[in-house]
């Protein structure tokens, strides 16, 4: 089988959870001996480096740069324009021509589009080829924007509501045009079905490795891990920073570490308060092994939090919200701890910092959960079966 795999950003370097999810998905394809041609869109936010792609990956990679930057003038024009600005930013005639030539010159068994932001090229694909087109969704995109609008005010709220409305309309119509949808969480699958979309859909989660990392559970700190280029992560970090003084007041030795791309530029003046901004880390497993508890107070977004799965895979105890745990079939207090309100998050953090035995129990249960539910053997098989059956 030969697959054309198109992504809205380069997979490598793996600077955020989306890149990790794409990396693991592509490895699932390769695990089933599928031949992969990978076309990625690079932007000023997500730059491309051919050297960043591991040499052992047996794939052909083609990159196309698009300037997707949002300027105040573009944002103002969006308030009076038609269509989805979120999606239109990722369209380029040059890439459409590149895809056309690829489909004329090569025979593919299917096309897999990663995220809604690559779907603007479907019309071009349909005009050239009749091979099945699959969409792999990480989120319900309009829901993320809608949630952000709820937490905004003034002109920003009006702007985000307009984006959410346009994006919802586009998302519903586009999901109806593809041949199959690969959703990464049951919650997202249910929401897609609620939109009266009859397209064949299957929930296939992400595969996650369980590397051997020594975690002695001695740290009495907490940390957050995630790209600060993504608004839901910014919201979560701001919330955690506000709650941290209460945690530190109860446990003076506690430190809060914040890591992820662009995190070192978020607020460099907080270190004297026990908050440390560590920026992008190359090895998140090594980094997290002595940082304590992952606290992820997510209040917007959808899909599954890849960083939470990665931390569970190495035995890191996790505290998050119901939204943060979306897509994880957890038992509260067994695989992770759910805390929604500020009071619950503060209390859960303090209690868990004081309880080493509970931290170890959560960590060991997390590893078992990942090995059972996110192994490459079963997930890669599901992907292949869905593609062949649809």
DSSP-assigned letters across all residues of 310-344 = HHHHTT--EEE-TTTTTT----BTTTBEE--SHHH
CA count, 13 A, side-chain hemisphere, 270: 21
DSSP state of 384: H
Would you state the pLDDT for residue 105?
96
**Numbered ranges of CATH 3.40.50.2000 in the chain:** 2-207+375-389, 222-373
Query: Coil, strand, or helix at residue 278?
Result: strand
Q: Count CB neighbours of 282 within 10 A.
A: 8
Would you state the pLDDT for residue 100?
97
Contact status, residue 295 vs residue 319, Cβ threshold 8 Å: yes
* Cα angle 104, 109, 110; round to 5: 90
Contacts of 25 (CB under 8 A, 6+ apart): 114, 136, 206, 207, 383
Distance (Å, whole) CA 310 – CA 339: 20
Q: Which of 28, 56, 36 is CA-nearest to residue 184?
A: 28
The CATH class of 222-373 is alpha beta
Contacts of 329 (CB under 8 A, 6+ apart): 373
Would you state the pLDDT for residue 78?
64
Torsion angle in degrees (nearest 10) through CA of 300, 302, 307, 313: 130
Q: Say which CATH architecture domain 2-207+375-389 belongs to.
A: 3-Layer(aba) Sandwich (3.40)
H/E element, 257: strand 256-259
DSSP state of 190: H
Question: Residue written as tokens 């593609």?
Answer: 387
H/E element, 295: strand 293-296
Q: Tokens for 255, please give them.
A: 């430190």
Would you state the pLDDT for residue 85?
86
| Tens-digit pLDDT string for the chain (390 aa) | 999 999 999 999 888 888 989 999 999 999 999 999 999 999 998 999 999 999 888 899 999 999 999 877 776 776 677 788 889 999 999 999 999 999 999 999 999 999 999 999 999 999 999 999 999 998 888 988 888 888 888 988 988 898 899 999 999 999 999 999 999 988 889 999 999 999 999 999 999 988 888 788 999 999 999 888 778 888 999 999 999 999 999 999 999 999 987 655 555 445 557 999 888 888 899 999 999 999 999 988 777 889 999 999 999 999 999 999 988 989 999 999 999 999 999 999 999 999 999 999 999 999 999 999 999 999 999 999 999 998
Would you state the pLDDT for residue 341?
97
- Cα 322 → chain centroid: 16
Q: Tokens for 99, please give them.
A: 């895809």
Would you state the pLDDT for residue 270?
52
Beta bridge partners of 261: none
Distance (Å, whole) CA 372 – CA 282: 27
- Beta-strand pair 293-296/275-279: unpaired
Distance (Å, whole) CA 86 – CA 205: 25
H/E element, 242: helix 231-250
Would you state the pLDDT for residue 271?
56
Distance (Å, whole) CA 296 – CA 224: 6
Rounded to whole angstroms, what are the CA distances from 187 to 95, 183, 230?
Answer: 33, 9, 21
H/E element, 35: strand 35-42
Q: Count CB neighbours of 266 within 10 A.
A: 18
Q: How far apart are the first and last CA of the chain?
A: 14
Contacts of 21 (CB under 8 A, 6+ apart): 138, 184, 206, 306
Query: Coil, strand, or helix at residue 55?
Result: coil
């Amino acid at each position: 089988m030969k697959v054309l795999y198109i992504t809205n950003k380069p997979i490598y370097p793996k600077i955020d959870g989306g890149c990790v999810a794409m990396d693991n998905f592509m490895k699932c394809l390769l695990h089933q001996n599928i031949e992969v041609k990978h076309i990625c869109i690079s932007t000023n936010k997500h730059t491309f480096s051919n050297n960043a792609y591991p040499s052992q990956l047996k794939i052909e990679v083609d990159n196309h740069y698009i300037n997707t930057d949002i300027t105040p003038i573009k944002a103002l024009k969006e308030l009076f324009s038609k269509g989805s600005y979120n999606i239109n930013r990722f369209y380029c005639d040059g890439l459409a021509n590149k895809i056309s030539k690829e489909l004329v010159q090569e025979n593919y068994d299917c096309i897999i589009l990663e995220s809604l932001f690559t779907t603007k090229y479907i019309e071009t694909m349909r005009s050239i080829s009749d091979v099945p087109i699959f969409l792999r969704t990480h989120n319900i995109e309009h829901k993320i924007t809608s949630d952000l609008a709820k937490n905004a005010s003034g002109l920003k709220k009006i702007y985000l509501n307009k984006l959410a409305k346009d994006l919802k309309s586009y998302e519903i119509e586009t999901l109806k045009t593809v041949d199959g949808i690969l959703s990464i969480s049951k919650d997202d699958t249910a929401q897609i079905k609620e939109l009266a979309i009859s397209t064949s859909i299957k929930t296939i989660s992400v595969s996650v490795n369980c590397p051997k990392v020594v975690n002695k559970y001695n740290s009495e700190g907490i940390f957050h891990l995630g790209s600060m280029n993504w608004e839901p992560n910014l919201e979560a970090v701001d919330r955690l920073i506000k709650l941290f003084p209460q945690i530190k007041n109860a446990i003076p030795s506690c430190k809060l570490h914040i890591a992820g791309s662009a995190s070192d530029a978020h607020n460099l003046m907080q270190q004297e308060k026990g908050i440390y901004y560590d920026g992008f880390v190359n090895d998140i497993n090594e980094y997290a092994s002595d940082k304590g508890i992952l606290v992820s107070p997510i209040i917007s977004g959808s899909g599954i939090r890849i960083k939470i799965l990665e931390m569970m895979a190495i035995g890191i105890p996790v505290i998050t919200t119901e939204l943060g745990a979306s897509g994880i079939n957890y038992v509260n207090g067994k695989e992770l701890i759910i805390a929604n309100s500020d009071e619950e998050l503060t209390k859960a953090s303090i209690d868990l910092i004081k309880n080493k035995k509970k931290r170890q129990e959560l960590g060991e249960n997390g590893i078992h959960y990942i090995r059972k539910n996110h192994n490459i053997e079963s997930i890669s098989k599901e992907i292949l079966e869905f593609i062949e059956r649809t």
